Amino acid sequence: MFKGPVDSKNEAAMSELVPEPRQKPVVPMKPMGINTSLLGYIGIDTIIEQMRKKTMKTGFDFNIMVVGQSGLGKSTLVNTLFKSQVSRKSSGWNREEKIPKTVEIKAIGHVIEEGGVKMKLTVIDTPGFGDQINNENCWEPIEKYINEQYEKFLKEEVNIARKKRIPDTRVHCCLYFISPTGHSLRPLDLEFMKHLSKVVNIIPVIAKADTMTLEEKTEFKQRVRKELEVNGIEFYPQKEFDEDLEDKTENDKIRQESMPFAVVGSDKEYQVNGKRVLGRKTPWGIIEVENLNHCEFALLRDFVIRTHLQDLKEVTHNIHYETYRAKRLNDNGGLPPMTVETEENHESNL
Ligand SMILES: Nc1nc2c(ncn2[C@@H]2O[C@H](COP(=O)(O)OP(=O)(O)OP(=O)(O)O)[C@@H](O)[C@H]2O)c(=O)[nH]1
Ligand SMILES: [Mg+2]
């Protein structure tokens, strides 16, 4: 049999072969990018990444409600939110169609995805009040709706076959529309906010801010803040829930300067300097809704979504829902005793 030089060489090599110790598989002791000189690394900081992954998989619910007297632009602002940079989606109304007067509580939802994270944003539009002869207790339908969502959540929580993740329809923030009168708040506004602030996070906004001059706006904002304080109305972010000094400093600025946000709403788009913008066309120019020099809509949006979304959800869960839950169980309204809270409960409170 022919044996080539290579084969014979191989044979010789084979006979001399001493098995080399196999290299151990590399087991990562810690994630990449972490200083290896740190002995005893446990990996607590990876929780952030774990939470991020989980949130990306499950997404989260966020629900905003608009409330206020009739004709202040609540439905328009709902459209503005959906058409603005929050989603750039149509909320279902035809561009040319005039927004009808709202006659019932209606929730409009969209799933918005950004950077792989899904948010189910629902905006709850409510009928305006204040045009009846008797406006007594006109906050009741709104309060009822808010409580119904707490009740739904509570029922899911005490269910024996509890869902892994309870759909969250609870109202995380309620934008309260104030008429741009330049005068005092109406007694009805004060009563309304007093009632609602006990069950939900209230964010007061001055509607139709384009009808005020800069000085009028600054002065009115100050007056509203003062009146809310004098009347003991707690709006979000509530002082008592500031967690530390950093929170307090940041929130004090918001409470003393930004609140109430003076907004302008529109669902119409116009061409300005070659760009399509949401705006209101007037004889003296276009008011750009998302331009910070024109109104505070973008500030409000950033406040609610970019900086305080998680906190709004936490205050809703830990304070407002908890108050409802405790009262409901105290009243013993036919519910079975509560099971001990598990992580599953907290999962719904992303
Ligand atoms: N000037 C001005 N007008 C606005 C603004 N937002 C809405 N409007 C107008 O105000 C009118 C009422 O707007 P809607 O959005 O229907 O008001 P609403 O608060 O939903 O009214 P109800 O459903 O009756 O409670 C419409 O003609 C809007 O075009 C705004 O920011 N500035
Ligand atoms: Mg409406």
pLDDT above 90 for 169 = yes
- Closest residue by Cα to atom 14, ligand 1, is 73
- State residue 97's pLDDT score: 67
| DSSP 8-class letter at 164 | S
311 CA distance to ligand 1 middle (Å): 29
DSSP per residue, 14-42: HHT--PPPPPPPPPPSS-TTS-TT-TT--
Dihedral of the CA atoms 287, 289, 291, 295 (nearest 10)? 80
Of 67, 76, 296, the one to substitute when testing ligand 1's pocket (max ligand atoms within 8 A of C-beta) is: 76
Tens digit of each residue's pLDDT (9 = 90 or more) over 204-253: 999 999 999 999 999 999 999 999 999 999 999 998 888 889 989 999 99
Domains in the chain, CATH or no CATH each:
62-88+99-265+292-332 (3.40.50.300)
- State residue 312's pLDDT score: 96
73 CA distance to ligand 2 middle (Å): 7
- State residue 33's pLDDT score: 52
100 CA distance to ligand 1 middle (Å): 10
Give the Å distances, CA to CA, from 278 to 49, 201, 240. 36, 28, 37
Atom nearest to 69 CA in ligand 1: 25
Atom nearest to 102 CA in ligand 1: 23
335 CA distance to ligand 1 middle (Å): 42
113 CA distance to ligand 1 middle (Å): 28
Q: Which of 59-68, 130-139, 157-166, 313-322 has the lowest mean pLDDT?
A: 130-139
Spatial contact of 47 and 35, defined as CB atoms under 8 Å apart: no
Q: Which residues line ligand 1 (CB under 6 A)?
A: 70-76, 99, 101-102, 127-128, 208, 210-211, 264-265, 280
pLDDT above 80 for 6 = no
* Residue percentage of the chain with pLDDT more than 70: 79
Residue 69 token pair: 């007297």
Tens digit of each residue's pLDDT (9 = 90 or more) over 299-332: 999 999 889 999 999 999 999 999 999 998 888 6
The number of the ligand nearest the C-alpha atom of 108 reads 2
Collapsing DSSP states into helix, strand and coil, what is residue 129? strand
The number of the ligand nearest the C-alpha atom of 70 reads 1
- State residue 43's pLDDT score: 85
- Closest residue by Cα to atom 12, ligand 1, is 71
Which range among 111-120, 121-130, 136-145, 309-318 has the greatest average pLDDT?
309-318
Of the candidates 187, 264, 183, 297, the one whose C-alpha atom is nearest the C-alpha of residue 233 is 187
